[in-house]
């Protein structure tokens, strides 16, 4: 069952197109919205919660336009990317305030949310004195107190330390498994990998890929990788590598070669034995374009 539907959504600010012609749906489970900074993830999420109005296309949440029917927010929670909070409030007051605005007045709901994110010992401290990671946890707790069906979390792991990061990921996975629709944006691939059943990859405001983490990984395996190999005899190794099936082209430099590999995994397996056979000594191997953005650019180019 789809709880959130996005149809041909575009959003532009003046001449800048932030989101372009996106159509997708979301349902129960954790969906990761993955993309480099500036890919349009935040704009998409803000359109979902009515903070931005689509320039074209439409968004429905539980079958309703969130801009026209704010009552749907009773079943929705949003954790904004910005770390701004009401600094004068304590964490407990902030969570209770958010719960109250959602119609929940039972203090037990606030206490349960505080415990969920391990903020019990700091609950009576003012948010103004919180670290970024603690603020994130307070924001997540504030979003959970009214037990929403849909959670929309914009980079919720930013600033959290590794232990808290792991706990938050576990929490999101648990919520997803309990039937809630959880949308989590991130620019960190391995974080999304750990929590999301399904991934939407975005770049330059466009939808680059959609599917399970495995499907996205398969797509990435096909990306031609550019790899720099520092070696004592560049020409000798270049000639040997060109004879293998995994290499598309080689650029020879003074003390290194730059290999465009058709299959990065196959190249990795072949490099050492090929070098040994050619009688060369490799001192360093490093990918030229391993960034997430370069992978996404490939995915977009392939569409």
Partner 1 sequence: MSAITAIVAMIGKRLIGRRVALILALLTLAPAVVLMVRDDGNQPAAFHNWVGPLLFALALPLVALLTASAALGEERFGHTLPYLMVKPIARTSIAGAGWVAATIVSFAIGMVGVGSAWAVAAVRTGETGIGWGAAVGAAITMIGYAAVFVPVGLMARQSTLIGLAFILIWEGVIAGAGDTLAVASLWRTGLSEYVAVTPDVPADVLDALGNLTPGAWGAFAKVLVLSAMSIAGTTLLLRHRDLVKE
Q: Which of 97, 111, 118, 228 binds partner 1 (CB under 8 A)?
A: 97
DSSP codes of every residue in 201-250:
EEETTEEEEEEEHHHHHHHHHTSPEEEEEEES-HHHHHHHHHTSTTEEEE
Q: Which of 26, 73, 130, 246 binds partner 1 (CB under 8 A)?
A: 73
Binding-residue pattern over the window 173 to 192 for partner 1, x denoting contact by CB under 8 A:
--------------------
Q: Which helix (H) or strand (E) holds 271?
A: helix 264-278
Task: Write down the least CB distance from residue 26 to partner 1, Å.
Answer: 16
13 versus 283: smaller Cβ distance to partner 1: 13
- Residue 13 interacts with partner 1 (CB under 8 A): yes or no: yes
Q: Which of 7, 57, 100, 289 binds partner 1 (CB under 8 A)?
A: 100
What is the DSSP-derived secondary structure letter of residue 144? H
Question: Cα(238)–Cα(296) distance, rounded to whole angstroms?
Answer: 28
Q: Which of 64, 65, 84, 273 binds partner 1 (CB under 8 A)?
A: 84
- Residue 162 interacts with partner 1 (CB under 8 A): yes or no: no
Angle made by CA atoms 189, 190, 196, in degrees to the nearest 5: 85
Question: Distance between alpha carbon 93 and the CA centroid of its chain, in Å?
Answer: 30
Task: Write down the least CB distance from residue 14 to partner 1, Å.
Answer: 9
Determine the 3-state secondary structure of 66 from DSSP. Answer: coil
Residue 70: partners with Cβ closer than 8 Å, 6 or more residues away: 50
What Rg do the C-alpha atoms of the chain give, in angstroms? 23
Sign of CA dihedral 126, 127, 130, 136: positive
Which residue, 21, 153, 179, 130, is CA-closest to 79?
153
Question: Cα(264)–Cα(210) distance, rounded to whole angstroms?
Answer: 22
Give the binding range for partner 1 (CB under 8 A) out of 68-76, 183-191, 257-265, 275-283.
68-76
Q: Which of 4, 44, 76, 157 binds partner 1 (CB under 8 A)?
A: 76
Q: Which of 74, 211, 224, 266 binds partner 1 (CB under 8 A)?
A: 74
**What residues form DSSP beta bridges with 5?**
25, 60
Task: Write down the least CB distance from residue 111 to partner 1, Å.
Answer: 18
| Subset of residues 24 to 63 that bind partner 1, contact rule: CB under 8 A | 43, 46, 49-53
Binding-residue pattern over the window 111 to 150 for partner 1, x denoting contact by CB under 8 A:
-------------------------------x--------
Question: Cα(138)–Cα(96) distance, rounded to whole angstroms?
Answer: 11
Q: Which of 58, 86, 252, 279 binds partner 1 (CB under 8 A)?
A: 86
Which residues bind to partner 1, rule: CB under 8 A?
13, 16, 18, 43, 46, 49-53, 67, 70-74, 76-78, 80, 82, 84-86, 88-89, 97-98, 100-103, 105, 142
């Amino acid at each position: 069952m789809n709880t959130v539907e996005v149809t041909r959504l575009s959003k532009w600010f003046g001449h800048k197109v932030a989101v372009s012609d996106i159509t997708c749906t979301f349902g129960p489970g954790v969906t990761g919205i993955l993309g480099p900074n500036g890919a349009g993830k935040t704009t998409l999420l803000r359109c979902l919660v009515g903070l931005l109005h689509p320039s074209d296309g439409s968004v429905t949440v539980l079958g309703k336009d969130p801009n026209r029917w704010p009552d749907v927010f009773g079943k929705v929670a949003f954790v904004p990317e910005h770390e701004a909070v009401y600094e004068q409030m304590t964490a407990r007051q902030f969570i209770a305030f958010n719960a109250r605005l959602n119609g929940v007045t039972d203090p037990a709901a606030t206490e349960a949310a505080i415990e969920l994110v391990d903020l019990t010992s700091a609950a009576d401290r003012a948010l103004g004195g919180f670290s970024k990671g603690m603020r994130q946890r307070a924001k997540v707790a504030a979003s959970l107190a009214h037990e929403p069906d849909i959670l929309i979390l914009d980079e919720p792991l930013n600033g959290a330390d590794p232990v808290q990061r792991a706990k938050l990921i576990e929490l999101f996975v648990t919520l997803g498994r309990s039937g809630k629709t959880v949308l989590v944006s991130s620019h960190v691939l391995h974080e999304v990998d750990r929590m999301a059943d399904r991934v939407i990859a975005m770049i330059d405001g466009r939808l680059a890929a959609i599917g399970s983490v495995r499907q996205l990984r398969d797509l990435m395996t096909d990306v031609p990788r550019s790899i720099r190999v520092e070696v004592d005899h560049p020409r000798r190794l270049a000639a040997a590598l060109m004879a293998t099936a995994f290499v598309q082209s080689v650029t020879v430099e003074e003390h290194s070669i730059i290999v465009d590999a058709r299959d990065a995994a196959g190249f990795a397996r072949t490099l050492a034995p090929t070098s040994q056979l050619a009688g060369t000594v490799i001192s360093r191997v490093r990918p030229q374009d391993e960034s997430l953005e370069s992978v996404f650019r490939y995915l977009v180019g392939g569409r």
